[in-house]
A and B are shown apart, each in its own frame.
Chain A
Amino acid sequence: MDLRTVQTTYANVQYYVGGAGPDLVFLHGAGGVTGDDPLLAELAKSHRVYAPLIPGYGDSEEAPEIRDMLDFTLHTWDVAIALGLRDPVLVGHSMGGMIAAEMAAVQPRDVSRLALIAPAGLWDDAHPIADLFATMPYEMPALLFHDVEAGAAMLTAGRNVTDPNFLQTYLVANARQLGMAGRILFPIPERGLSTRLHRIRARTVIVWGDSDRLIPPVYAHAFKKAILGAELVSIPEAGHMVTLERPRAVADAIDALH
């Protein structure tokens, strides 16, 4: 994947790009995405993949003007327009799934293929979603992965947690990223999406890890019910980070949209 920058009204946005085939936009979750992400690699085998970083993530500029759900939705459309994309396959994971669903709902004629991977955006009092913002780093693997041990290794890979500079770098990155994500996810990751899902006209696949403990699979059924004709692909032995744990299975579900 190459890393490039595109200019939008509120921020210069970094994006990963690679592969060949039909255009596909991938919107990452609250944890961000890296150039060696295994799902991006799988998708790039059959698509021209564009994975923009939300302002505040990586070297994407912070954007104080982007405050609420509509701002996030329209900004991400601005990115697609700036990249010259027309009706790309729209894919989003977790927070990115929430944004992708909003994009497809506000401009239903501009999205014909949509893949939502364990998206945020709905809330069910009977199944409260864990408070990501009150979760300590050491508690994350159990929330995010089916295989907790392997997940923990993935999260800490390449980081020297005993380095005194690490803590400050980590805190700054965390404040930039989750500070921004908090604008649509804090304190409850719900901003009225349920009243807009009926507008989606895209052929939609919903992908969920069976062992998702952050957003439990009961939410998959709520999305399926609310989006006209949506299909659900459940992936066994995968948690919320199904994108890391079963990238090929997720890519297969997305390929089936064509």
Chain B
Amino acid sequence: MKFTWFNLMPWPYLPDDFREKHRSVWVDIDQKLFDPVKSHEVYNTYMDLLEYADQLGFDGVGVNEHHQNGYGIMPSPNIIAAGLARRTKDAAIVVLGNSIALYNPPVRVAEEFAMLDCISGGRLVAGFPVGTSMDTNYCYGQIPSLTREKYQEAHDLIIKAWTTREPFAWNGRYNKLRHVNIWPRPIQQPRPPVHIPGGGSVETYDFCLDNEYSYSYLSFSGYLRAQALMDGYWKRVEERGVDKSPYRAGFAQTICVAETDEEAERLYWPHVNYFYNRCLHVYPGFADAPGYRTIKTIQTGALSQYAPPVGGYSQLTWKDLVEGGHVIAGSPETVRQRLEDLAKGLNVGNIFCLMHVGDMPADKCMYSTKLFAEKVMPKLRNVFPDWADDNRFWTSPLDKRVTSGSLPKQAPTSADLLKTYGVEA
């Protein structure tokens, strides 16, 4: 199995009465709640934690893109990823991803992802989400019923830009480019592995299977509620006669580890509470712009995970969240068991571990992360022995990679250079 340590980067200073006093954590969130001075430490701590995960041996470190959002202060994941490409050694840089319908022109994504792949020595996993309706439609103004068409064109253009070895013209509906010729291009051939975050859009299953992309279900509601959706995906895989490698799928799961189940509740409940009962407070009018989801998808009953639940919101308790599977929390053995259930039940090989939760401070996050890396991860490595060699959906880095800070300690002298280069002009 592949474990990616993921940080949504929530703003940790939303007030206690946020839900009562504010209508939304997203789109029109109150400007006054953001403090740029405090963000200096928040950003750097969050990046430190991602780097720490690399040192502990996680397979990947993960970042994503949200806009005008109180639980994700990462409008440009590529900026964070660039820092990680320099400061991490072995972990894949999992950018999940760039909302490609928003970039004008989308060759910008082809270029930036290529840069990340080159700087990191071939460690990039490229994610191409359509983007949530909040981000794509309400914040970035894309017309809902044309978003998917624009996304598709952006995807086709990026892949062609990555894989074509001579300049070409692109006469698209949304992009007219006479000379496409990206420079640089990615190390990984024929392209970096691609993961597609989906939320139950049926069209996305086929898109992944057609192109050998991994399908990622990024939900906050946990593995028990994901069963129906993932069953739908695997049913489609079977119908298509494609192999059922678990690495064709990824799943995001909130995970908190402590010495005991009791300690987990004591240490982490305040932060889990902050995330589930405060950060996900999205005004329902922003949940799903009409036309964003296809008719076929609505008819299958796949609604936005941000739409209010039937009967309205209620405060979720630790018990609700743990028993309901939103959160996998407890002793290393408890977490191992439940993650094994998740992996086997959903047939998922890529786990995006949401290990920083809500307003969790760095020390608790390190504690949980270290226990996971040392006492849970090793025991789950071989859940899928039949697929141990399947690397179609993961990175192929260079064997020999440089890391940051490799310059000599001191600048050379004239004599040093003479020795190195001789006297010839």
Contacts and interface: CB of A to CB of B under 8 A. Distances in A.
Interface of A: 64, 67, 131, 133-136, 139, 168, 171-172, 174-180, 182-183, 186-188
A180 B291 contact: yes
Contacts of B27: 134
A171 B146 contact: no
B302 to A, nearest CB: 11
B299 A180 contact: no
A182 B299 contact: no
Given A178-B290, A187-B137, A187-B138, A172 B144 contact: no
Given A136-B284, A182-B145, A186-B144, A176 B295 contact: yes
A136 B283 CA distance: 10
B264 interface: no
Contact of A172 (B146, B149, B295): B295
- Most B CB within 10 A of own CB, among A67, A131, A133: A133
7 contacts: A131-B285, A134-B138, A134-B283, A174-B290, A179-B290, A182-B289, A186-B137
B168 to A, nearest CB: 25
B202 to A, nearest CB: 14
Interface string B137-166: 110010111100100000000000000000
Given A175-B294, A182-B289, 5 more contacts: A67-B146, A179-B144, A180-B145, A180-B291, A182-B143
A187 B141 contact: yes
Q: Which 5 A-B pairs have the closest CB atoms?
A: A179-B291, A178-B290, A179-B145, A134-B285, A187-B141
B67 interface: no
B289 A171 contact: no
B291 A168 contact: no
A258 B284 CA distance: 47
B301 interface: yes
B290 A133 contact: yes
Contacts of A172: 295, 298-299
Interface of B: 27, 137-138, 141, 143-146, 149, 283-286, 289-295, 298-299, 301, 303
A172 B299 CA distance: 7
A182 B144 contact: yes
Contact of B299 (A168, A177, A183): A168
A186 B285 contact: no
A122 to B, nearest CB: 18
Contacts of B138: 133-134, 187
Contact of A178 (B284, B285, B291): B291
B293 A175 contact: yes
- Most A CB within 10 A of own CB, among B27, B138, B144, B301: B144
B147 to A, nearest CB: 10
Contacts of B144: 133, 179, 182, 186
Contacts of A64: 149
A175 B290 contact: yes
Contacts of B303: 171
A135 B285 contact: yes
A38 B290 CA distance: 27
A254 to B, nearest CB: 30
Contacts of B290: 133, 174-175, 177-179, 182
B375 to A, nearest CB: 45
B298 A134 contact: no
A41 to B, nearest CB: 29
Contacts of A176: 295
A176 B285 CA distance: 17
B134 to A, nearest CB: 10
Nearest to A133: B289
Nearest to A67: B146
B338 to A, nearest CB: 32
Nearest to B289: A133
Contacts of A67: 146
A25 to B, nearest CB: 25
A129 to B, nearest CB: 15
A183 B292 CA distance: 11
Contact of B291 (A135, A136, A139, A182): A182
Contacts of A136: 284-285
A183 B145 contact: yes
A86 B288 CA distance: 41
A252 to B, nearest CB: 34
A133 B142 CA distance: 12
A174 B289 CA distance: 10
A75 to B, nearest CB: 15
Contacts of A187: 137-138, 141, 143
Nearest to B134: A134
Contacts of A188: 141
B35 to A, nearest CB: 27
Contact of B295 (A135, A175, A182, A186): A175
B101 to A, nearest CB: 14
Nearest to B27: A134
B143 A183 contact: yes
Contacts of B286: 134
A121 B303 CA distance: 31
B298 A171 contact: yes
A175 B137 contact: no
Nearest to A177: B290
Nearest to A164: B310
- Most A CB within 10 A of own CB, among B149, B283, B285, B299: B285
Given A168-B301, A183-B146, A187-B138, A175 B291 contact: yes
A86 B162 CA distance: 54
A183 to B, nearest CB: 6
A31 to B, nearest CB: 12
Contacts of A179: 144-145, 290-292
A120 to B, nearest CB: 15
A67 B137 CA distance: 16
- Most A CB within 10 A of own CB, among B291, B295, B299, B303: B291
